[in-house]
Structure 1
Amino acid sequence: MSDKLKLLLVDDHQLIIEGITSYLKDIDGLKITTTNSCDEAYRLIKSSLAIDPFHILFTDLSFDVGKKNVAIDGGESLIKALQKDKVPIKIGVITGHSETNRVFNVVKNLKPLAYILKGQCNTVELNFAIQKMMSDQVYYTHDIHEKLMKRTLVEIQMDDVAIQILKELPNHTKISNLEGEITKPDGSLVKIRTIESKLAKLRTDFNANNNTDLVLKAKELGVLD
């Protein structure tokens, strides 16, 4: 068995693999393996379990598989497969996906120990992330951490009436048209004055200049589709 930490890096772009590997090679104590295929990554991880298992997996989320006949078509599917099999490996994401809703869903549902953006990836950050992961602590790139904090804060501040208002807002040219469309939990209708008050608070919470800006920012945070 190797004394080094075995790390598997998975990405479908060879130039990305080479770039990240160049950073990883400056970190002492790593034995690095790379592959462009999630199917191959799964096979490597499973086949090594009994003798010399991998300690860390870094994977992208989206893979361009084209018309290839693959069983595992991307990083999210790979993570799910490993978690389903209860494989004891520390999982981190290195990706270009920074859309708040995508980030939120990946972190919430898959719970990777690290979420790192490719454009901000370097030796120092990777080294720090690996140390955190091996201690079962999470590490998120600063931008990702901020997005998650903001999304969580917004969710805490939201109630059912606010969510209804945001969803209905793009469908009406006048705020007054919302009256009769928004209901309280008990089924009673929300008055226009309450709707206007809620909208003012939402604009403040989202730091929006107007209702159009509010809708755009709600979409950016993944509150609206």
Structure 2
Amino acid sequence: MPNKTKILIVDDHQLIIEGILSYLKHIDNLEIETTNSCDDAFAKIKVAQTDVPFQILFTDLSFDNIDETSKIDGGESLIKLIRKEEIPIKVGVITGHSETNRIFNVIRNLEPSAYLLKGKCNTNELNFAIQKMLTDEVYYTHEIHQKLLKRALIEIQMDEVAIQILKELPNHPKISNLEGVIKKDDGSLLKIRTIESKLAKLRTDLQANNNTDLVLKAKEMGVLD
């Protein structure tokens, strides 16, 4: 019989852990431990290094049970500490965070081997993710891939004029007030017709219903602060 894959699951909600376990029980050859604490998770990982190390960590990003006694304030900090200490463990994220900018920043900065969404993962997806992780591949759910592709597309299309328009839009009750404010690269001012055309394209690209929705979606994607 091949060696079992040793997995640690970290989430502050026990019901979420129970749900993940209910899926994993249908996958053969796993040895699973769980904890509700990032501090405890890191301690378990460190201790296991001297005996039978964990091969995979699945963690949430946000934890509601953090208090003044906590040394590690969430999943992102846990992953950073693991990276800092160069612990050889595959890290996967199972979270409810599906905001495009949050996803983009977590994947860009922490490079998890998997990113799955709570409530949408199942036995097949978890099994697929585990197999990918064990072979040094990455697995992001379809929804995560779509958001990353959209974020990359928007970033390519977002020129300096578009950024100016989006930043100024909340400050002006009328679109016509933007004329004489938005500048081209050469310093010349954009006419209202060009601004309106640019806004229409931005609304289409970001699938916004109106200009207010456009600004909100730009912020959610991290295009605006």
TM-score by length of 2: 0.92
Secondary structure of the residue aligned to 1:120 is: coil
Alignment of 1:24-63 (within 5 A): 24-63=24-63
Code of the residue aligned with 2:155 in structure 1: it is: E
The reply to whether residue 116 of structure 1 matches residue 120 of structure 2 is no
Code of the residue aligned with 2:200 in structure 1: it is: A
Once residues 48 and 187 of structure 2 are traced to their aligned partners in structure 1, the CA distance between those partners, rounded to angstroms, is: 57
Other-structure match for 1:8: 8
Retained in 2: the 8 A contact 1:206–1:214?
yes
Retained in 2: the 8 A contact 1:7–1:32?
yes
**CA RMSD between the two structures:** 1.8
Name whichever of 209-218 and 36-45 sits farther off: 209-218
Retained in 1: the 8 A contact 2:66–2:73?
no
Other-structure match for 1:103: 103
* Alignment: residue pair count: 224
Cα shift readout 1:85-106 (whole Å, capped 9, x = no counterpart): 1111110000111111111111
Percent identity for Structure 1 against Structure 2: 73
Distance 1:193 1:26, change over 3 A: same
Cα shift readout 1:28-78 (whole Å, capped 9, x = no counterpart): 111101111101111111122132111000000011125341110110000
Other-structure match for 1:169: 169
Once residues 136 and 92 of structure 1 are traced to their aligned partners in structure 2, the CA distance between those partners, rounded to angstroms, is: 12
Cα shift readout 1:199-219 (whole Å, capped 9, x = no counterpart): 122122123343233223323
CA-CA distance at 1:26 after TM superposition = 1.2
Gaps of 5+ in 2: none
Retained in 2: the 8 A contact 1:94–1:118?
yes
Cα shift readout 1:95-132 (whole Å, capped 9, x = no counterpart): 11111111111111111111111111211110001111
Other-structure match for 2:94: 94
Cα shift readout 1:132-162 (whole Å, capped 9, x = no counterpart): 1112221112222211111111111111111
Once residues 190 and 145 of structure 2 are traced to their aligned partners in structure 1, the CA distance between those partners, rounded to angstroms, is: 36
